[in-house]
Structure 1
Amino acid sequence: MPEPRGFLLIDKPSGCSSFDVVRGLRKLTGIRRIGHTGTLDPLATGLLICALGSVTRLCGYLEAEDKTYSATLRLGSQTNTGDTEGDFVRQDGPIPDKLDEAFLHERVLGLKELSPPQHSALKVNGRPAYDYARKGEKLDLAPRPVRISKFGVLNYDPPDLTYVCRVSKGTYIRSLSEYIAGCIGTVGHTVALRREAIGAVDLSEAWQLDELTPENYQAAFHPPRNLFTGFEFYQPRDAELAALRNGQGIGSEGKDTDRILLLDGNDTLLGVAKRSSGFVQPVINLR
């Protein structure tokens, strides 16, 4: 029997790491090759897309998708980690009674770059930045390009400001919260964070880990057509599939693209291909 392969949408609870979820799925399914498409901090909750089996090779496509978060920023106090896990470095920041939401909206949507937190998993000389931070070494982390396509204040109950945002890959919400606090003229840190959506999928379609069993997890695999936005879908005939799996190209009319998702009649993922000048060639073959 071939190893099952597919994607599961998991609603990660607070208090466990993203790898804890992977470890739980390995124990549940017996599949060793399991990954995910973007780490959530242990205290964060929300959507984690987990890849089981050979589809782990496709994670990079989903990692590039924009992500939607809701976050609560506590104004007036700052920690060395940007969240509740760190030590306070300031607790005397001003806390306004009201917010200029129009001003915040303009500033946040106009943001083009943002520096990663000192306490982050970003690799520096092969080591995560938090290794240096824990030893008291301050790194000069260059700002990274970001794109904020959505921002809105959901609630302001001083000192807590809850907001929603849709951001590009590589945007650290802890850094965004500190930037927002700076726009308000104070300091702040993130006290709650929930990932609401990745690309075209959201939490309404996610499973709690304890809802899955060895008997039902394959039925819970998410339809790949709903995951891979911006892809062309192609169901190769048997002879075409044989050629593609042997690394050979096949004729196929259509526009040039490097995003063709290959599926069988049951919508099981077969791989990724690209088309150039009416000729489709395999990029990733899944078996």
Structure 2
Amino acid sequence: MGTDTRAPRREPAPDGLLIVDKPGGWTSHDVVAKVRYLAATRKVGHAGTLDPMATGVLVLGIGRATKLLTFLVGCDKSYAATIRLGASTVTDDAEGEITEATPVDLQPGALEAAVAGLTGEIQQVPSAVSAIKIDGVRSYARVRGGETVALAARPITVSRFEIRDRRSVEADGIPMLDVDVEVDVSSGTYVRALARDLGAALGVGGHLTALRRTRVGAFTIDVAHPLSDLETHGPGELPIQPLDATAQAFTRRTLTADEARAIGYGQRIPSAQPGRREPVAAVGPDGRFVAMLDESGPRAKPHVVFAPAAS
């Protein structure tokens, strides 16, 4: 009888959220694939794509926590970025071909005024190389296929657009300006498009040369783990935030034992704040994460239940 040389089956990682500091050059899907191996489970997803050139906070859900990702995708986000003024590119970032270059010689206060004009509630045309679908085909696929794409503007909120540094640079003999910025933006905002629009407002063109996501909702870069640090961890050793602890990322409501039991059965209970638009994390009296609730009506209903009632 032959010897079974197959590696023993690894126990999958526990349910919860893993906050990764995505390295440059990796796609978000690359990171998910890596963590699927490390966590010994196919049940891994992410809460919002980062471009390959970008680094920073990538929130991953493992096991039952993948059901939370849809609620995290809509969270506000923060970024640190470098915008190069003086050149426009096909992709609005440094990975695309330069389409136009203009020497930069700005009047005092012009940069600050242009930044102010892109702060607050504004309309933004997404980058043409975004993942938005047009008649079932991703916009970036159409652009790379040689098509000219015109996307509709959409409302976004830029709650903070702060200039951190600026320095003169020269590219192909043309004087340009690199501007380091930090932004807080609503979900659906394209920082590449902010770079493009800042350049357009100044009449010199602009594109993104560096991007680092520093926050997704309540999860900041200081709790993110470099992917290289995780490669030596077994599934049970990964620094996963347990499912019950992840409720802190949302508006919370503590239920009574009877309310927790009713929600566990999928029943409705009176809303604590009828008309509330954002989803609510319902926590039982024992600290268990029971469900995500919809309190938009007079009676709250569960979006998804994590702690079914005991039979």
Q: Mark the CA change 1:31 to 1:99 in structure 2 (over 3 Å): closer, same or farther.
A: farther
Determine whether 1:51 maps to 2:72: no
Out of 66, 69, 74, which is 2:84 matched to?
Answer: 74
| Residue 249 (structure 1) aligns with | 268
* Partner SS state of residue 86, structure 1: coil
| Residue 7 (structure 2) aligns with | none
Take 1:201 and 1:40, find their aligned partners in 2: how far apart are those partners? 15
Q: Which amino acid aligns with 1:168?
A: S
Determine whether 1:113 maps to 2:133: no
Q: CA deviation at 1:3?
A: 7.3
Are 1:71 and 1:163, in contact at CA under 8 Å, matched by a contact in 2?
A: yes
Determine whether 1:184 maps to 2:192: no
Q: CA deviation at 1:12?
A: 0.5
Q: CA deviation at 1:29?
A: 0.7
Q: CA deviation at 1:164?
A: 0.9
| Residue 131 (structure 1) aligns with | 141
* Partner SS state of residue 4, structure 1: coil
Q: CA deviation at 1:220?
A: 4.4
Q: CA deviation at 1:260?
A: 3.0
| Residue 51 (structure 2) aligns with | 41
Residues 187-223 of structure 1 show CA distances to partners (whole Å, capped at 9, x for unaligned) of: 1211100111112321011111233322322554483
Residues 45-69 of structure 1 show CA distances to partners (whole Å, capped at 9, x for unaligned) of: 0111111112222222211111111
Alignment of 1:132-147 (within 5 A): 132-147=142-157
Residues 95-117 of structure 1 show CA distances to partners (whole Å, capped at 9, x for unaligned) of: 12665243134212156111111
Are 2:17 and 2:240, in contact at CA under 8 Å, matched by a contact in 1?
A: no
| Residue 183 (structure 2) aligns with | 165
Out of 272, 277, 280, which is 2:292 matched to?
Answer: 272
Are 1:8 and 1:49, in contact at CA under 8 Å, matched by a contact in 2?
A: yes
TM-score by length of 2: 0.81
Q: Which amino acid aligns with 2:221?
A: L
Take 1:88 and 1:266, find their aligned partners in 2: how far apart are those partners? 58
| Residue 87 (structure 1) aligns with | 97
Are 1:5 and 1:53, in contact at CA under 8 Å, matched by a contact in 2?
A: yes
- Unaligned ranges ≥5, structure 1: none
* Partner SS state of residue 215, structure 1: helix
Q: Which amino acid aligns with 1:62?
A: L
* Partner SS state of residue 146, structure 1: strand
Residues 226-269 of structure 1 show CA distances to partners (whole Å, capped at 9, x for unaligned) of: 311xx2232553x654432322234x673324633133577553
Are 1:117 and 1:175, in contact at CA under 8 Å, matched by a contact in 2?
A: yes
| Residue 284 (structure 1) aligns with | 304
Q: Mark the CA change 1:128 to 1:253 in structure 2 (over 3 Å): closer, same or farther.
A: closer
Take 1:175 and 1:2, find their aligned partners in 2: how far apart are those partners? 40
Q: Mark the CA change 1:260 to 1:120 in structure 2 (over 3 Å): closer, same or farther.
A: closer
Q: CA RMSD in A?
A: 2.5
Take 2:284 and 2:12, find their aligned partners in 1: how far apart are those partners? 15
| Residue 227 (structure 1) aligns with | 249
Take 1:29 and 1:207, find their aligned partners in 2: how far apart are those partners? 15
Q: Mark the CA change 1:76 to 1:3 in structure 2 (over 3 Å): closer, same or farther.
A: closer
Q: Mark the CA change 1:253 to 1:136 in structure 2 (over 3 Å): closer, same or farther.
A: closer
Q: Which amino acid aligns with 2:192?
A: R
Take 2:85 and 2:271, find their aligned partners in 1: how far apart are those partners? 56
Are 2:12 and 2:41, in contact at CA under 8 Å, matched by a contact in 1?
A: no
Take 2:33 and 2:181, find their aligned partners in 1: how far apart are those partners? 31
Are 1:4 and 1:218, in contact at CA under 8 Å, matched by a contact in 2?
A: no
* Partner SS state of residue 61, structure 1: helix
Alignment of 1:187-226 (within 5 A): 187-212=205-230, 213=233, 214-217=235-238, 219-221=240-242, 223-226=245-248
Q: CA deviation at 1:153?
A: 0.7
Determine whether 1:60 maps to 2:70: yes
- Unaligned ranges ≥5, structure 2: 1-10, 169-176
| Residue 263 (structure 1) aligns with | 283
| Residue 27 (structure 1) aligns with | 37
Q: How many positions carry a matched residue from both structures?
A: 281
Are 1:78 and 1:187, in contact at CA under 8 Å, matched by a contact in 2?
A: yes
